[in-house]
């Protein structure tokens, strides 16, 4: 499986023009949501290559990352004459690149696509790595395929349009990557000042984070082994996220992952002796910058049930990626229901 190259753009339009020229498509469709249509599309349309493109607009928000929205995209492509020689450009955050990638990968058995990531979360998580998908029956990314973009273009200047919560949401995935990689990157992340965002420094951290993810994905594109490492924080995190939607109080994906990281590093400490001081550093970072996720004892069964649907699970066991130390990844770890409840107790009481 050939993987896309990710470009941290110095000149977005020049990089976009070159990427389109290399594809030489019959026609071009640009997928945006309501937010990127307003804030990002005007810049993209400065490209001469997009003068005759057709714009597909979908509603923003993860609650719209579903089969109904995907059908809208397929309908538009079909009714506007898209062929296997068409090119789709997905311009947006993770919701747009996940859904757009899935729609492109399945329309006429696959048309080529480029991701232009406009959010920090999308840049370091969804846009790179070749995973596409939609939510189904209240479960995150339940339907999808591995289908890499031909190119992933990241323009850090777009991140200046994000509000504080969306910046922090994206940064949570960077925290995860640093824990997977090395103490050097973990310490760099711990020094980052959320209260005074230095976008030049953020760009450096994004380059590091994307590199960490791409190195893992290149070794294991279809998540047979090492790529499972990228699920650190996500077994608890996806359960928290899905639960928040059931409660009609949705939390951002990165916040859910950060809360999940706390639980899974605690589980790592209990089962694999992950250093307590690093767990405490993460707890401090979480409390100071992300607050706490609210749930009660009566919710444990529902959270556990959501974890049983996790795609990493084998047989009846709930599967985790854990750490024995920063940068020391332990795949295919399992935990009993009692141990999972203990993690939930720890999180509520911390």
Domain match, 188 and 284 both: yes
Residue 139 has phi, psi (to 5 degrees) of -110, 135
Domain match, 299 and 214 both: yes
Domain match, 100 and 220 both: no
Query: End of a domain among 119, 136, 161?
Result: 161
Domain match, 12 and 155 both: yes
Closest CA to 251 of 35, 58, 63: 63
pLDDT value at position 85? Answer: 97
Domain match, 320 and 197 both: yes
Domain match, 148 and 242 both: no
Q: How many residues does the chain have?
A: 350
Among the ranges given (233-242, 262-271, 272-281, 310-319), the one the predictor scored with the smallest mean pLDDT: 310-319
Listed in sequence order, the DSSP H helices in the chain are 12-23, 34-39, 41-44, 67-79, 94-106, 120-121, 164-181, 183-190, 199-219, 234-246, 253-272, 276-290, 300-307, 337-349
Among the ranges given (41-45, 212-216, 239-243), the one the predictor scored with the smallest mean pLDDT: 212-216
Closest CA to 175 of 93, 285, 263: 285
Handedness of CA 193, 197, 199, 200 (dihedral sign): negative
Vertex 265: Cα angle to 263 and 271 (nearest 5): 105
The partner residues of 328 in beta bridges, in order of sequence, read 325
Give the mean pLDDT of 182-201.
Answer: 94
Residues 6+ apart with CB under 8 A from 227: 216, 217, 219, 220, 221
Does residue 140 or residue 59 have the better pLDDT?
59
Residue 44 maps to which CATH number?
3.40.50.1970
Query: End of a domain among 116, 140, 161?
Result: 161
Closest CA to 312 of 304, 320, 303: 320
Q: How many structural domains does the chain have?
A: 2
Query: What does the alpha-carbon distance between residue 235 and residue 232 come to, in Å, rounded to a whole number?
Result: 7
Question: Quick one: pLDDT band at residue 312, thresholds 50, 70, 90?
Answer: low
Q: Indicate the pTM of the whole model.
A: 0.87
pLDDT value at position 139? Answer: 83
Question: Quick one: pLDDT band at residue 3, thresholds 50, 70, 90?
Answer: very low
Residue 197 maps to which CATH number?
1.20.1090.10
**Is there a domain that residue 167 lies in?**
no
Domain match, 258 and 277 both: yes
Domain match, 80 and 184 both: no
* Structural domain range at position 200: 172-349
Domain match, 333 and 202 both: yes
Looking at the chain, the whole-number percentage of residues with pLDDT higher than 70 is 97
Domain match, 145 and 193 both: no
Domain match, 275 and 335 both: yes
Handedness of CA 198, 204, 208, 209 (dihedral sign): positive
Domain match, 216 and 104 both: no
Structure-token pair, residue 316: 């009846």
């Amino acid at each position: 499986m050939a993987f896309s190259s990710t470009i941290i753009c110095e000149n977005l339009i020049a990089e976009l023009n070159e990427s389109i020229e290399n594809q030489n498509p019959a026609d071009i469709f640009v997928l945006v949501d309501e937010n990127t249509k307003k804030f990002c599309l005007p810049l993209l349309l400065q490209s001469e290559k997009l003068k005759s493109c057709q714009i597909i607009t979908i509603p923003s928000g993860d609650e719209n990352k579903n089969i109904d929205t995907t059908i809208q995209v397929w309908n538009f492509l079909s009714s506007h004459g898209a062929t296997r020689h068409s090119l789709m450009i997905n311009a947006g955050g993770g919701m747009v690149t996940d859904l757009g990638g899935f729609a492109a990968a399945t329309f006429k058995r696959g048309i080529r696509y480029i991701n232009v990531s406009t959010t920090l979360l999308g840049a370091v998580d969804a846009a790179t790595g070749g995973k596409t998908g939609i939510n189904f029956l209240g479960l995150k990314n339940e339907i999808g395929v591995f289908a890499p973009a031909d190119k992933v273009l990241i323009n850090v200047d777009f991140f200046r349009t994000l509000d504080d919560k969306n910046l922090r949401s994206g940064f949570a995935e960077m925290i995860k990557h640093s824990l997977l990689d090395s103490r050097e990157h973990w310490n760099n992340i711990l020094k980052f000042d959320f209260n005074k965002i230095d976008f030049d420094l953020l760009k450096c951290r994004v380059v590091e984070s994307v590199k960490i993810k791409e190195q893992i994905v290149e070794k294991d594109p279809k998540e047979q082994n090492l790529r499972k490492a990228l699920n650190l924080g996500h077994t608890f995190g996806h359960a928290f996220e899905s639960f928040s939607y059931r409660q009609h109080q949705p939390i951002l994906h990165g916040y859910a992952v950060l809360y999940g990281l706390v639980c899974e590093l605690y589980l790592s400490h209990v089962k694999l002796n992950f250093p307590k001081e690093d767990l405490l550093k993460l707890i401090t970072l979480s409390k100071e910058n992300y607050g706490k996720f609210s749930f009660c004892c009566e919710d444990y069964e529902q959270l556990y049930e959501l974890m049983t649907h996790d795609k990493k699970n084998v047989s009846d066991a709930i599967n985790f990626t854990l750490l024995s130390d920063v940068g020391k990844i332990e795949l295919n770890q399992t935990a009993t229901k009692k141990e999972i409840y203990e993690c939930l107790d720890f999180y509520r009481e911390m």
